[in-house]
Structure 1
Amino acid sequence: MKKILLTGGLALLWFTAKAQTDTTTQKLDEVLIQENRIQLPFSKQSRNISLVDRQQIETTPGRSLPEVLAFVPGVDIRQRGVTGVQADIGIRGGSFEQTLMLVNGIKLSDPQTGHHMMNIPVPMVNIDRVEVLKGPASRIFGQNAYTGAVNVITSLSDTRSLRLQGYAGDFGMKGISLAGALPAGKYKQNLAISYDDSDGYQYNSDYQVTNLFYEGGIDLNAKNAIRGMVAYADRTFGANGFYASTFPDQWESVQTTLTSLSHTYASGDFSLQTRGYWRRNEDEYRLKRNEPTFYQNFHTSDVFALETNGTVKSKLGTAGFGVEVRKEQIESTNLGNHDRVLSGIFLEQMVTLAEKVDIRGGLYSNYYSEYGWKHFPGAEVGFQATKSIRLYSGIGSSFRIPTYNDLYYVGPTNIGNPDLQPEQALSFEFGGKWNRDNWRGELVYFNRHSENLIEWTRTSSEEPWQPQNFNEVTFNGVEASAYYRVNPSNSVVQLKELMLSYNYIDANFIAQPGVESRYALTALKNQLIGGLLVGFGKKIEWNTKMRYVERVSQDPYFVLDMRVDYNRVGKLGFFAEASNITNTDYVEAGTVQMPGRWFRAGFMVNLD
């Protein structure tokens, strides 16, 4: 690894620092939100959606997607250690099992456990943007999109480019990534590889992460296109306190493979996309790292899926339809061998009235081999009150079936419950968006009423955790956000980007006397996020990010991060980052103590 970094550093001497135009300043309102059927520009959406574009990904102080998403309003990232080597994600007070992760619309849900949801096999350098849909998304993406969905978007380029990045920092941290767009005639293709490792910031917190990514596509003619993807991630890490505070020598190794092939047909007012994909996750877990025979689990889960989605435009508006079949299976030394089949039908319709009102409603009907038919209706209404103000409201139902960990796990600190029932919720939101010149603001109220909520509990610290169904739990919340951005100019000092958001969530979850709750009472309660990106001349950018987080039953904490870039979009650039500048003592997940103040610095080479 040291030789690779040295070679990359010597290669930099061949390039000059010539500034280029920053192409990341595309107007966010024009971005088409990549849902699997009806797709609308960001400005026409009647839902609470956050966009994280290329500029924000590159300038946020963080080396991983979880670190970037930690600054999205309403998103709760709980990291176990640095750079998101193992992280959970929740939206609007939901747990890590209730959020659906996707890559280009492909679902990454794992039947074993939601702890694998953030094993994204895509190097950061290849992510074009991230779309965060808050609230029930089952009608759009199916089950598991219980409290929201996060869609990671990549794009194929018709021009050649090469990007090399490397960094090093505290805790023996270092990493390198190489990504290239290599079109050959009509065939477009991207290839990327990244490697990160660290000695760890405390005992048994070292890690090694490798990502391999390839995607290609070709337009066969004006109506037909084919796109394919192959991605692989290998994560091996010391898991001190990750799942049980009494065992500091835990260790885990996870390999995730994702492949997909899709065909798109578009002609006039009709479009149809057919896609098949396979996702495999291999997980080896040891309670004592150097004594595998003491307690060791092997899990291999596979997901095979085939889906078709389409749209038809007519005088009545736009209709969307879709069909999916999905098989999930697992072979596990602990959970046993299981499989289940899920199939579903999507139908939705959007109409526009008097150019100011749009109504979008639909239904997702899902059949589970274990639970029979379930139906998820939902609808949104939007009203363009003025050119700058849009009001919206929506209602929808969502559903989540237990994972195999929920049902069958047997261990010294956790025991599954085979009698668990699926959890379901009815959600409502009402909000308003304001967009004028370089400013954007949003205020939304939401309510989620859950039934049969799955929560891990125990009666004493000597007893193992076990999931139970709770009858009814209601979440109420408010999100307010303001955002400002301008295109780069020749000003000596320029405010390029400003964002501020506040989230408040009230959950009426009341623990039973003598019963300890594992996740519900650590749900997000208050969240304040701020960001300030300042440019100095043509080449220097200084980004400051802050988070204030308070959970239901935990002490609040404040974290301040910073990053400085020099010539970020030029031929040769450099950056320096500092995390937790405030040296805050805090915990995000379980009992894992997060590190104090730490630093890293690196370079980037951009060639066209």
Structure 2
Amino acid sequence: MKFYIFLTIYFFTYLNIFAQKDTVQLEVVTVSATLLRNEIKNTARNISIIDRKTLESAPVKTLDGILQYALNVDVRSRSAFGVQADISIRGGHYDQTLILLDGVKVNDPQTGHHALNLPVPFSMIEKIEVLQGGASRVFGPSAFSGVINIITKKPAKSEGEIQLGAGQFHTWQSALYGTWVKDKWNVGAGLDLVKSEGFQAATDYKKHSLNVNAERSWTKGTIQLLYGQMSNDFGASNFYHPKFFNQYEEVSSHLANLAWKQRYSDKWQSTFLANYRLHYDMFDFDNYRNTDKINLLNVHRSDVWDIEWKFNYKNHTAFGLEWRKEGILSNRIGDPLDQPRKEAKDWSDLTYTHQKSRDNLSLFFERKFVWQNFNLNVGTLGSYNSKFGFSLFPGLDLGYALDNTSRIYYTVNRSLRFPTFTELYLKNNTVTGDPNLLPEKAWTQELGFKKQSHGSLSQVSLFYTHTEDAIDKVKRPGITVPLMENMDYLNRWGIELAQKWNFSKNPIRLKQFSLNYAWIHADKKEEGYQSFYTLNYLKHKATLGTLFEPLPSWNLSLWYTFKDRAGQYSWDDASAPIDYASFGLLDFRTSYKIQKFEIRLDLNNLLNKEYFEYGFVKQPPRTITGTIVYGF
């Protein structure tokens, strides 16, 4: 540990020697994960950006892989290559983070385990915005602890790209991306396929994603049509229970979206979104599909309809409304059906015997005020849910510009999250839901500082979150199956530090350097029970990323991530709880460009650490993959 501390101090000292004269100015970054658009340096929130340069140079090929490096984002992967991963922010859990795809809410009402079942190839992503803290006043009930907004590429010319890759454990990957631009039309399409036999028994997978979008523009607006589809079949060895190694799952989703953006005048503009998401899930706990116990499979179908219309006046006033309908058909979740329905996908011998649905209507308003060096955003969102009634989410963001490059800010926001259908109704040998669960509610306060100048972006924030009726999955002594419960008051506070430099010339050919650190503390401990959600979080997370360019066409990228997790896990009732062990991971990529070709070599978990994100789910060892990219 002393060596790493020394290395960090050395790096900071060395970098600061030439940072002022050899940095390059960071591009102006506009944040879209807000109602009123603003440059990131002027926002009174902690928002971090993963740009295209980082996406293309980091030693990752999936969304969960790149989010491993993001500030105070906890990615708990259960397998490799984005097969399944749970995303949480600021010590929350995977049901508390809202995922947006080009502004479209893609969270699944069944469970947050499906949040990253996104119908978009990784090669189509332009950038990712990560907003820390509750944002219900802008995005509604799902934005409880943070928001991740995935923004796809907007083609400027006709071009294409082909990727072919292979690696250990008989892993094969291919991807195709292309754009067509003519007159006022632009069309983009992407497809990727990946399969592997897995690093151990029942960790094999086969997945694909497809995305097509077409946009037509005119003088005062655009219309965009999007369709995406993904499927993923994978071995889920002891994913949800430590002693069942034949677990297996199949998921697929479809997303269709219409986006209409209209500028009525220099002062008025609006954005209209209408989308539909369909998701299928089949879970096999113990190889039942290959026996006469096929009726023990879990089959679910969720349908989500969403219509949203937002108006913006002179970029200082925003208002709008949203209607969202969430429904599920299942053989396990919801209320019994009068007449069973045939399962509509691949397991035609099964029937849906339960269903549930709920509607949500939201009205929102936001106003920005500017007085000399001060800026103030105030707003609220009112939401009526057919099951949980009316809720109000007020909040404000206050910023003060110290000079042209520095700003301090304070923000306070109310957030709320409705229980998922799984938390309410699922009853099996891994969890017992509670249909009387209350929505969890929180107030979050944040005090921060940010500075952007000379190719450098610095951010510091202190936050405090007070949660009421926190929803937790709890294992108590003498009870075999964990229960879903509302917990008493939970207070959580922490600190976040982020630093990023872009460089032009320096002796070690360093092009980019970033460092993130987050510390979190909760005022409750696991005493007499095991918490799966609220008390199972990253106490410490540190990430260091570097990008070198030894030669004009040769890049070296090195990322180190350290995680120290609170909470415990146990194998069964007879076993004593075990504390999570801290660990550090080192990932490396080298790439070389030759005309239209690029050759990449990735080494993930370079030090071959044995580690666990979930207590009993072993993660892959050192993994080597190679990729050839051809652009045309």
Task: Identify the TM-score tier after normalising by the shorter chain.
Answer: over 0.9
Q: Answer yes or no: is 1:414 the counterpart of 2:412.
A: no
Residue 460 (structure 1) shift: 3.3
- Give the Cα separation in 2 of the matches to 1:344 and 1:183: 37
Q: Contact 1:452–1:471 at 8 Å: present in 2 too?
A: yes
Identify which range, 72-81 or 412-421, moves more after superposition. 412-421
Secondary structure, aligned partner of 1:110? coil
Q: Contact 1:34–1:104 at 8 Å: present in 2 too?
A: no
Q: Of 321, 326, 343, which aligns to 2:319?
A: 321
Q: Where does residue 103 of structure 2 map in the other structure?
A: 105
Secondary structure, aligned partner of 2:66? helix
Q: Answer yes or no: is 1:399 the counterpart of 2:416.
A: yes
- Give the Cα separation in 2 of the matches to 1:210 and 1:419: 38
- Give the Cα separation in 2 of the matches to 1:28 and 1:505: 30
Q: Where does residue 545 of structure 1 map in the other structure?
A: 559
Q: Of 72, 75, 88, which aligns to 2:73?
A: 75
Give the TM-score normalised by the residue count of structure 2. Answer: 0.89
Secondary structure, aligned partner of 2:424? helix
- The count of residues paired between Structure 1 and Structure 2 equals 574
Q: Of 185, 208, 211, which aligns to 1:210?
A: 208
- Give the Cα separation in 1 of the matches to 2:376 and 2:31: 17
The percentage of counterpart residues that share the same residue type is 29
Q: Where does residue 560 of structure 1 map in the other structure?
A: 586
Q: Where does residue 444 of structure 2 map in the other structure?
A: 427
- Give the Cα separation in 2 of the matches to 1:40 and 1:238: 44
Residue 210 (structure 1) shift: 0.5
Secondary structure, aligned partner of 1:182? strand
Secondary structure, aligned partner of 1:66? helix
Residue 555 (structure 1) shift: 1.2
Q: Contact 1:138–1:398 at 8 Å: present in 2 too?
A: yes
Residue 518 (structure 1) shift: 1.6
Q: Contact 2:559–2:586 at 8 Å: present in 1 too?
A: yes
- Give the Cα separation in 2 of the matches to 1:286 and 1:62: 29
Residue 108 (structure 1) shift: 0.9
What one-letter code is carried by the residue in structure 1 that aligns with 2:302? S
Deviation by residue 1:154-181 (Cα, 9 ceiling, x = unmatched): 1321311101111111111110000001
Q: Contact 1:29–1:43 at 8 Å: present in 2 too?
A: no
- Give the Cα separation in 2 of the matches to 1:340 and 1:82: 34
- Give the Cα separation in 1 of the matches to 2:383 and 2:112: 20
Q: Where does residue 179 of structure 2 map in the other structure?
A: 181
Q: Answer yes or no: is 1:223 the counterpart of 2:249.
A: no
Residue 596 (structure 1) shift: 1.5
What one-letter code is carried by the residue in structure 1 that aligns with 2:257? S
- Give the Cα separation in 2 of the matches to 1:370 and 1:533: 50
Q: Contact 1:521–1:551 at 8 Å: present in 2 too?
A: no
Deviation by residue 1:191-225 (Cα, 9 ceiling, x = unmatched): 11100111001110000110010011011x31121
Q: Where does residue 4 of structure 1 map in the other structure?
A: none
Structure 1: tracts of 5 or more residues without a match: 1-24
Q: Where does residue 348 of structure 1 map in the other structure?
A: 366
Q: Where does residue 571 of structure 2 map in the other structure?
A: none
Q: Give the alignment's Cα RMSD to 1 decimal.
A: 1.6
Secondary structure, aligned partner of 1:482? strand
Residue 37 (structure 1) shift: 2.9
Q: Where does residue 485 of structure 1 map in the other structure?
A: 502
Residue 462 (structure 1) shift: 5.8
Deviation by residue 1:277-318 (Cα, 9 ceiling, x = unmatched): 0011100111123335272011000000111001102xxx71
Please list, as runs of the form range in 1=range in 2, the aligned pairs for 1:104-183 lying within 5 A after superposition.
Answer: 104-183=102-181
- Give the Cα separation in 2 of the matches to 1:272 and 1:165: 38
Q: Of 502, 506, 523, which aligns to 2:521?
A: 506
What one-letter code is carried by the residue in structure 1 that aligns with 2:463? F
Q: Of 550, 553, 569, which aligns to 1:536?
A: 550
- Give the Cα separation in 1 of the matches to 2:185 and 2:485: 51
- Give the Cα separation in 2 of the matches to 1:496 and 1:141: 36
Identify which range, 166-175 or 588-597, moves more after superposition. 588-597
Q: Answer yes or no: is 1:287 the counterpart of 2:285.
A: yes
- Give the Cα separation in 2 of the matches to 1:435 and 1:225: 32
**Inter-CA distance 26–261: structure 2 relative to 1 (3 Å threshold):** farther
Give the TM-score normalised by the residue count of structure 1. Answer: 0.92
Q: Contact 2:41–2:451 at 8 Å: present in 1 too?
A: no
Q: Of 494, 511, 526, which aligns to 2:509?
A: 494
Residue 351 (structure 1) shift: 1.1
Q: Where does residue 583 of structure 1 map in the other structure?
A: 608
Residue 260 (structure 1) shift: 0.2
Secondary structure, aligned partner of 1:349? strand
Secondary structure, aligned partner of 1:56? helix
Residue 492 (structure 1) shift: 8.5
**Inter-CA distance 452–159: structure 2 relative to 1 (3 Å threshold):** same
What one-letter code is carried by the residue in structure 2 that aligns with 1:241? N
Residue 501 (structure 1) shift: 1.4
**Inter-CA distance 486–69: structure 2 relative to 1 (3 Å threshold):** same
What one-letter code is carried by the residue in structure 2 that aligns with 1:501? N
Q: Where does residue 533 of structure 2 map in the other structure?
A: 519
What one-letter code is carried by the residue in structure 1 that aligns with 2:239? F
Q: Where does residue 255 of structure 2 map in the other structure?
A: 258
